[in-house]
Amino acid sequence: MEKLNLAERANKFWNEADKKDGEGLSLLNALLEHVRVKRDWDALAVFLGRSTNTAGAEADIKRIIKAAFGDRLTFDAARAKKHPTGVAFKMAWAEGDVVQFGNAYGDVKAAIEQGKGFRDATLQKKLKAIFAPPKVDKDFEQLVEMIAKNALAKAKAVDKDVHQLMKAAEAKIDTILKEAAQKEAAKVIA
């Protein structure tokens, strides 16, 4: 039996994916490890490119890729048009850099050890929770907008750079908070 390279294994997996979900997560792990060590994303592109024909698989796989690399491996739309798979990546690390998987990848490793697949509901629920956009607090957003507009107006009025003003204000806030904490601690001691 001939030994298949990673790209061939990635392509072959999708021919029988419905029967081999657990193998898919192990294969995806091997593909991500290959990207991490060799900086070669072609086989991962084949795997992800073929996933688009399976409902929900592409989103599940992208969450696992994000768990592995965070923002250090992103999709490159400009290069994707030229790549045979229609998928391309941009890596934010140089050749020779030692790249570790992100903390969220621990959940993926645990699922592999348990023989789960990349579509496993528990795994995907954990990853969705980790990567869910933060909930917006409307009152907080309005307060931030009011402060930003006020700071911009004040900076213009005194002909100062707003970014320098905000840095100075942040430092002053830290000083005020430290002084308040010291006063509170002195009350407790007394």
DSSP string, 111-162: HHHTT--TT-HHHHHHHHHHHSPPPP-HHHHHHHHHHHHHHHHHHHHTT--H
171-178: long-range pairs with CB below 8 Å, 24+: none
CA 88 to chain centre: 16
Domain extents in the chain: 6-131, 138-189
pTM: 0.68
pLDDT the model gives residue 64: 94
Q: Is residue 1 pLDDT above 60, yes or no? A: no
Query: How much of the chain is helix, strand and coil, in % rounded to 5?
Result: 65, 5, 30
* Phi and psi, residue 91, nearest 5°: -105, 135
Give the span between the Cα atoms of 114 and 145, in whole angstroms: 47
Average pLDDT over residues 138-153: 86
Question: 90-132, pLDDT tens digit by residue?
Answer: 888 887 888 889 888 999 999 999 999 999 999 999 999 888 8
Helix or strand holding residue 90 (H, E):
strand 89-91
DSSP 10: H
